[in-house]
Amino acid sequence: MSHLLPTSIDETLALLQRADYVGDRALATVLFLSLRMGRPLFLEGEAGVGKTEIAKVLAKSLGRRLIRLQCYEGLDTASAVYEWNYAGQMMAIRLSEAAGDKDRVTLQEDVFSERYLIKRPLLQALQPDAAGAPILLIDELDRADEAFEAYLLEVLSDFQITIPEIGTVKAAEPPVVIITSNRTREIHDALKRRCLYHWVDYPDAEREARILSVKAPAAPAALTRELVAFVQKLRKEDLFKSPGVAETLDWAMALTELDAVALDPDLVTDTLGVLLKYQDDIAKLQGSRAQVLIDEVRADLAHRAVA
Amino acid sequence: MGEPGPISATGLDGGKLAINVMHFARALRAAGLAIGPGAVQDALTALQLAGFEHRDDVRAALHATLVRRHDQTILFDQAFDAFWRRRGYLDKLMAALSPLAQPEAGKQKKPDPGASRVSEALARSRRDERPAPPPELSARLTVSAQEKLARKDFAQMTAAEIAEAIRLVAQLRLPRDAVKVRRHTADARGSRVDPRRAFRRSMRAGGAGIELAYRSPEEKRPPIVAICDISGSMADYTRIFLHFLHAMTAERRNVHSFLFGTRLTNVTRALRAKDADEALTACGAGVLDWAGGTRIGPSLHRFNKDWSRRVLGQGATVILFTDGLEREGLAELAQEMERLHRSCRRLIWVNPLLRFAAFEAKAGGIRTMLAHVDDFRPIHDLRSMRDLCTALGNGAGRGANPRRWLRIAEAERPIHPGQRPLQARSSAGDFTGSNRMLSAGAVTSPQS
């Protein structure tokens, strides 16, 4: 059974919260607008801030089907939109030959019918669904070629796809489209113009702590506080790749598994690979720097406790 | 999902909302955001849906519909504060439309980086800034004169010769550097069967026989990223190199250009202007550190951190234009060069110092950088620029192997430093494009 779309920003926020997604109000606003205006939502942000998660949460809480199209270099219509079942078509031709059937028009209609059409994600998303229009997640669009971006223009503005042999397929109810990009290249303005834009930023300390309490409830509260403050400090350091929320979660789980109750330099150095994924970043933090950061974190927390 | 109908100018609030949003959009447009009428319409719809109970919702609704890139957010925020505070409109509107809302007092803040641009845009006096058109060039050189010009050092040219050189740069035959990608395109002489077209063809004949259709991999030109030193010592060459970049930008879409002295500036958009002079002026406008000092290591650090992931995808070639005369922070320089080298397909270092016949890779900075480049070539005259084009194409020009310079510097240094002059261009065999085998140990410690 399909759940109803939220009718206000507060409801959208509540919907996200029910699905264990701790979002801010700006995100709820654009999400609400995107649902109500029937516009694709274009999410940009660093890796690991929860862009893909938004689509998953939305599908789960609205009870819709999630269709995911992971983009990569060389993605073409055959793997993104549709493909014909060539082997099946070949069989059909040979069988009709064997049966002595010579009617060209019937054969053509038979061979290029939906029976031999393999639907890929974009076409699937336009099909009617009992649970309501599906959620279409176009993930990491920046990895696809520009030619594919141009193809998306028709799909995203009219929600229709033209198959030369059959005709135009149009969605009865347009899917909810969420596009994500890591900015490895700039997406063309023509595409962005058709979407609502939102930059997903790293969460602040308060929200990150809430995320941890929801997603990693097993971690001790004191450890969570220190850990969040440490990660927040780390994002201000001059690193090649700052840790995202996904890394914070992994780290919290790793430390919980190790039965840690508080941060200490050796523990941080040993588990840094969970948080940082570049060797030079790890090298910067090894040794005394970790101790300095932990001391600062402790001082800040103590200061806040007094105040 | 009922989409609310479009709002007419006389809709909400007697049309004042529509008109104010329109003015706001115009202010943003003047500040450099590309906002079309469609976006304004969207903004109105979004505002109506989001309601006026919270100031943040109004901001988020306008942001989602009017902003297209993350770097525009700072301008948007400034404009939002300035515009709606100045008019006092938002608070009034919120009070009128929502009894729940409590107008927030506009807090006075320190001016942010985007502030001056926005306030300029909000209250801009129309000045005629268009410069007089440059006089038409009448001096056309003969072929032999052009040949002479091709070998003349840019720094020794007269103003007229420079003008002619710039004209020749614009006519350079630019590199053919297409590489095969994983997408396919129809090709009668291709080697792979294209089943879809084959079946459509066979249907034409009633399915009697299947005539095969073929396809082959598409070709695409990978991005070129130029990182260009604008310090004082390079001034004579920088300008003409920028003309070179402009010619390249005009011919293909995926050229990204960066300038650095003491800080890094992205001038890609400025260089897209059709007219070369206009493009160069626009470049200069965004750069604060023309012809000053240079800090190569920190600039490359900024590039690696902020831009490499955004422009070096899809097999980019990097052209690094600098003299490499860095004295401090060689460890950092080595680290950043190594990272840069690892994140691109090919790293070409062009250095005007190679104009000296007696050039040797002796300076610490140069030796540090040489260990991490694929090509090392001159850029002081038209001929070297033409060679660069060839090198960008499919391979190697002559004498570009950076290992050779390092080897010679190593061999010479202990005996008579700087004694034996070295030809800037000699015919060292073809360079196959990879020096990644070179171990870091081949370079002695830069400080020694």
The pLDDT score that the predictor gives to residue B111 is 45
Q: Which of B70, B194, B212 to mutate to test the interface with A (most CBs of A within 10 A)?
A: B70
CB B427 within 8 A of CB B399: yes
Is pLDDT at B437 greater than 50 in this prediction?
Answer: no
CA distance to partner chain A, nearest, from residue B61 (Å): 7
B354: tokens are 């190679």
- What is the average per-residue pLDDT within B334-338? 91
Q: Which of B28, B68, B216 to mutate to test the interface with A (most CBs of A within 10 A)?
A: B68
Amino acid identity, position A236: K
Question: Domain spans of chain A?
Answer: 9-73+120-199, 82-119, 205-300
- For residue B39, being part of any structural domain is answered with yes
CATH code of B397's domain: 3.40.50.410
- What is the average per-residue pLDDT within B36-55? 88
- For residue B132, being part of any structural domain is answered with no
Local confidence band at B7 (pLDDT 50, 70, 90 cut-offs) = very low
A134: tokens are 């599906």
The pLDDT score that the predictor gives to residue A9 is 93
- For residue B56, being part of any structural domain is answered with yes
Instruction: Tell me if B64 and A104 make a contact (CB, 8 A cut-off).
Output: no
pLDDT digits (tens, 9 = 90+) for A11-64: 999 999 999 999 889 999 999 999 999 999 999 998 889 999 999 999 999 999
pLDDT digits (tens, 9 = 90+) for B220-244: 888 899 999 888 777 778 888 888 8
The pLDDT score that the predictor gives to residue A280 is 83
Please, what's the largest Cα pairwise distance for chain A?
A: 92
Amino acid identity, position B393: G
Residue showing tokens 């520009």: A146
A111: chain B residues, CB-CB within 8 Å = 199, 203, 207
Is the domain of B263 the same as that of B313?
yes
Is the domain of B393 the same as that of B340?
yes
The pLDDT score that the predictor gives to residue B43 is 92
B220: chain A residues, CB-CB within 8 Å = 145
The answer to whether B46 contacts chain A (CB < 8 Å) is yes
User: How buried is B346 (Cβ within 10 angstroms: 0-12 exposed, 13-18 middle, 19+ buried)?
Assistant: buried
Conformational region of residue B62, where left means phi above 0, alpha means psi within -120 to 50, and beta covers everything else:
alpha
Fold of A9-73+120-199: Rossmann fold (3.40.50)
pLDDT digits (tens, 9 = 90+) for B48-106: 888 888 888 889 999 999 998 888 888 898 888 887 776 666 666 666 655 444 444 44
The answer to whether A33 contacts chain B (CB < 8 Å) is yes
- For residue B378, being part of any structural domain is answered with yes
A37: chain B residues, CB-CB within 8 Å = 3, 42, 45-46, 49
Is pLDDT at B320 greater than 90 in this prediction?
Answer: yes
- Please give the share of chain B, as a percent, with pLDDT higher than 90: 9
- What is the average per-residue pLDDT within B269-290? 80
The pLDDT score that the predictor gives to residue B91 is 65
Is the domain of B41 the same as that of B57?
yes
- What is the average per-residue pLDDT within A144-166? 88
Q: Which residue of A has its CA nearest to B65?
A: A196
The answer to whether A115 contacts chain B (CB < 8 Å) is no
The pLDDT score that the predictor gives to residue B98 is 52
A73: chain B residues, CB-CB within 8 Å = 181-182, 314
Q: Which residue of B has its CA nearest to A185?
A: B310
pLDDT digits (tens, 9 = 90+) for B109-128: 444 545 555 555 555 443 43
- What is the average per-residue pLDDT within A261-285? 88
Is the domain of B214 the same as that of B264?
no
Mean confidence (pLDDT) of chain B: 74
The answer to whether A271 contacts chain B (CB < 8 Å) is no
Complex ipTM: 0.75
Is the domain of B296 the same as that of B400?
yes
| Alpha-carbon distances of A116 from A75, A76, A119, rounded to whole Å | 21, 19, 10
- What is the average per-residue pLDDT within B414-434? 40
Order of strands across the sheet that contains A66-70 = A66-70, A135-139, A176-181, A41-44, A196-199
Mean confidence (pLDDT) of chain A: 89
Is the domain of B206 the same as that of B293?
no
The pLDDT score that the predictor gives to residue A147 is 85
Q: How many domains does chain B have?
A: 3
Instruction: Tell me if A33 and B220 make a contact (CB, 8 A cut-off).
Output: no
Is pLDDT at B415 greater than 80 in this prediction?
Answer: no
The answer to whether A278 contacts chain B (CB < 8 Å) is no
Is the domain of B212 the same as that of B253?
no
List the 155-184 stretch of B: residues with Cβ below 8 A of A.
Answer: 181-184
- Residue of higher predicted confidence among B419 and B146: B146
CA distance to partner chain A, nearest, from residue B59 (Å): 8
Is the domain of B216 the same as that of B228?
no
Q: For A136, what's the count of Cα atoms within 13 Å in the CB-facing half-sphere?
A: 33
The pLDDT score that the predictor gives to residue B114 is 52
The pLDDT score that the predictor gives to residue B360 is 79
The pLDDT score that the predictor gives to residue B119 is 59
The answer to whether B199 contacts chain A (CB < 8 Å) is yes
The pLDDT score that the predictor gives to residue A204 is 92
Highest mean pLDDT among A228-237, A276-285, B161-170: A228-237
Highest mean pLDDT among A191-195, B245-249, B393-397: A191-195
The pLDDT score that the predictor gives to residue B34 is 84
Is the domain of B321 the same as that of B215?
no
B37: tokens are 């009428």
The pLDDT score that the predictor gives to residue B88 is 65
The answer to whether A240 contacts chain B (CB < 8 Å) is yes
The pLDDT score that the predictor gives to residue B200 is 79
Instruction: Among B36, B61, B210, select the one facing A29 at the smallest CB separation.
Output: B61
Local confidence band at B8 (pLDDT 50, 70, 90 cut-offs) = very low
A144: chain B residues, CB-CB within 8 Å = none
- What is the average per-residue pLDDT within B195-206? 78
The pLDDT score that the predictor gives to residue B140 is 45
Local confidence band at A274 (pLDDT 50, 70, 90 cut-offs) = very high
Among B280, B221, B283, which residue's Cα sits nearest to residue B251? B221
DSSP B189-240: T-SEE-HHHHHHHHHHTTTSS----EEEEEEEPPPEEEEEE--GGGHHHHHH
d(CA B186, CA B96): 63
Using alpha carbons only, give the angle B444, B340, A282 rounded to the nearest 5 degrees.
85
The pLDDT score that the predictor gives to residue B399 is 56
Is pLDDT at A65 greater than 80 in this prediction?
Answer: yes
* Backbone phi, psi, residue A288, to 5°: -70, -25
Is the domain of B399 the same as that of B352?
yes
Is the domain of B294 the same as that of B364?
yes
The pLDDT score that the predictor gives to residue B87 is 60
User: What is the domain range of residue B36?
Assistant: 12-105+112-122
B182: chain A residues, CB-CB within 8 Å = 73-74
Local confidence band at A123 (pLDDT 50, 70, 90 cut-offs) = very high
Task: Look at strands A117-119 and A82-84 and give their pairing.
Answer: antiparallel
The pLDDT score that the predictor gives to residue B131 is 45
The pLDDT score that the predictor gives to residue A37 is 92
Is pLDDT at B135 greater than 60 in this prediction?
Answer: no
The answer to whether A279 contacts chain B (CB < 8 Å) is no
A145: chain B residues, CB-CB within 8 Å = 181, 183, 220
Q: Which residues of B423-439 are buried (b: 16+ CB within 10 A; e: fewer)?
A: ebbeeeeebebebeeee
- What is the average per-residue pLDDT within A60-78? 92
- For residue B272, being part of any structural domain is answered with yes
Instruction: Tell me if B64 and A33 make a contact (CB, 8 A cut-off).
Output: yes
The pLDDT score that the predictor gives to residue B321 is 92
The pLDDT score that the predictor gives to residue A139 is 95
- For residue B196, being part of any structural domain is answered with yes
Is pLDDT at A128 greater than 50 in this prediction?
Answer: yes
- Please give the share of chain B, as a percent, with pLDDT higher than 70: 71
Q: Which residue of B has its CA nearest to A192?
A: B68
The pLDDT score that the predictor gives to residue B419 is 41
CB B60 within 8 A of CB B51: no
List the 176-195 stretch of A: residues with Cβ below 8 A of B.
Answer: 182-186, 189, 192-193
Local confidence band at B425 (pLDDT 50, 70, 90 cut-offs) = very low
B1: chain A residues, CB-CB within 8 Å = 5, 35-36, 38, 173
Q: How many CB pairs under 8 A join A and B?
A: 132
Instruction: Tell me if A37 and B3 make a contact (CB, 8 A cut-off).
Output: yes
A34: chain B residues, CB-CB within 8 Å = 64
Local confidence band at A255 (pLDDT 50, 70, 90 cut-offs) = very high
The answer to whether A125 contacts chain B (CB < 8 Å) is no
Highest mean pLDDT among A51-65, A261-275, B103-117, B130-144: A51-65
Is the domain of B303 the same as that of B419?
yes
The answer to whether A85 contacts chain B (CB < 8 Å) is no
Q: Is the torsion defined by CA of A205, A206, A207, A211 positive or negative?
A: positive
Is pLDDT at B418 greater than 50 in this prediction?
Answer: no
The pLDDT score that the predictor gives to residue B126 is 39
- For residue B374, being part of any structural domain is answered with yes
